Amino acid sequence: MNDTDGNAFVDRTYRSEDGLSLHLRDYDPGSRAAARLPVICLPGLTRNSRDFHQFAVILSQDEVEPRRVIALDYRGRGLSDWDPKTENYNVRTEAQDVLAACDYFGIEKAVFIGTSRGGLILHFLAEMRPELLAAAILNDIGPEIETKGLMRIRDDLNDGTSPQHWAEAVAMLKRRHGVHFPILGDQDWEDMAVAIYREIDGRLAADADPAIAKQLTSIDFSKPLPTLWRHFEAFGVRPLMVIRGENSELLTEAAVAEMAMRHPGLRVVVAPGQGHPPLLHSEPALSCIRQLLNEI
């Protein structure tokens, strides 16, 4: 199983401020996209650049308005170095790594898409370097997280089960998430397996440092989770979209309503038949993202 699509992207690396080698995928159409702002994709907690492959191919190979798409592997994920100081697996440090990537590649402004953890990172970027964000798209995430959804993620990531082969990986994902993603087809589940797992020394393994998932076990869920409403205000008047999975347990309708009240220009998209997080290359998310990009 693979997701290479020939020469759709180039693997690139850069250095974090503390010396780690960090990886990203660069879907660059070259001069055909030079006049348009790039799209930078930030994955979820234990996810990686492969999550955005189908979406990135569609945007970068568009016949009329191709865009350069850059998808990152944070430290400890994908092909990036694991951090021996596990306390550095935090949103602020990862936001700084995103800034390091932009500085290294000379990107002064871009459209950012953040899935789950990536959306939290966007909240920090909006405060740390607001001029970098031409627009922001939050994929099933906001400044307020539902406890039930985070507890489910904690349990899923720490159950200790590893598939023995690709068919088992696909079946496992269907058992865990099928009830929240009834619209997905067989190819979608296979793509998800390829995004999450990687063959390492002949065995399938989740493509992230286990210390990242273990951090969730230390959260005291008897107390309210911290919010990022102050950071949310930093998005200001720039174009902002939130995509919510119809069956999401992490981002509630009430939280989206509060976001819309605080940011009157917020574009809200609901992904029917999907949970956390929705696939960006599915409809209506893809068309809505394209429309926003066409306006920038």
Does some domain include residue 181? no
CA–centroid distance for 160 within its chain:
23
What per-residue confidence (pLDDT) applies to 2?
53
Task: Give the chain's domain count.
Answer: 1
Asked whether residue 198 is assigned to any structural domain, the reply reads no
Residue at 100 is within a domain = yes
User: Which residue blocks in 41-133 are alpha helix, DSSP H?
Assistant: 53-60, 91-104, 117-128
| 39/59 Cα distance (integer angstroms) | 9
Whole-number pLDDT of residue 5: 65
Residue 213 lies in a domain: no
Residuewise pLDDT in 10s, the chain (296 residues):
455 565 899 999 999 999 999 999 999 998 888 889 999 999 999 999 999 999 999 999 999 999 999 999 999 999 999 999 999 999 999 999 999 999 999 999 999 999 999 999 999 999 999 999 999 999 999 999 999 999 999 999 998 788 999 999 999 999 999 999 999 999 999 999 999 999 988 889 899 999 999 999 999 999 999 999 999 999 999 999 999 999 999 999 999 999 999 998 999 999 999 999 999 999 999 999 999 999 98
Q: Per the domain annotation, does 59 fall within a domain?
A: yes
Closest C-alpha to 262, from 124, 112, 148, 144: 144
pLDDT value at residue 10: 96
> Containing domain of residue 73, as a range?
10-147+226-294
Q: How high is the pLDDT of residue 168?
A: 95
* CATH at residue 56: 3.40.50.1820
Q: Is residue 232 part of a domain?
A: yes
266 domain-assigned: yes
SS3 content of the chain, % helix, strand, coil (to 5): 40, 20, 40
CA dist., res. 41 & res. 35, Å (int)? 19
210 is a domain residue: no
Tell me, what's the pLDDT at 3?
A: 55
Full-model pTM: 0.95
Gap between the Cα atoms of 99 and 72, Å rounded: 11
Q: What is the rounded CA–CA span in Å between residue 6 and residue 293?
A: 26
C-beta of residue 120 within 8 angstroms of C-beta of residue 114 = yes
Which distant-in-sequence residues (6+ apart) come within 8 Å of 265 by Cβ?
A: 237, 239, 240
Residue 75 phi, psi (nearest 5):
-55, 135
The confidence score (pLDDT) of residue 161 equals 82
Q: Which pLDDT belongs to residue 20? A: 98
* DSSP strands (E only) in the chain: 10-15, 21-27, 39-42, 69-72, 110-115, 133-139, 197-200, 203-206, 240-245, 267-271
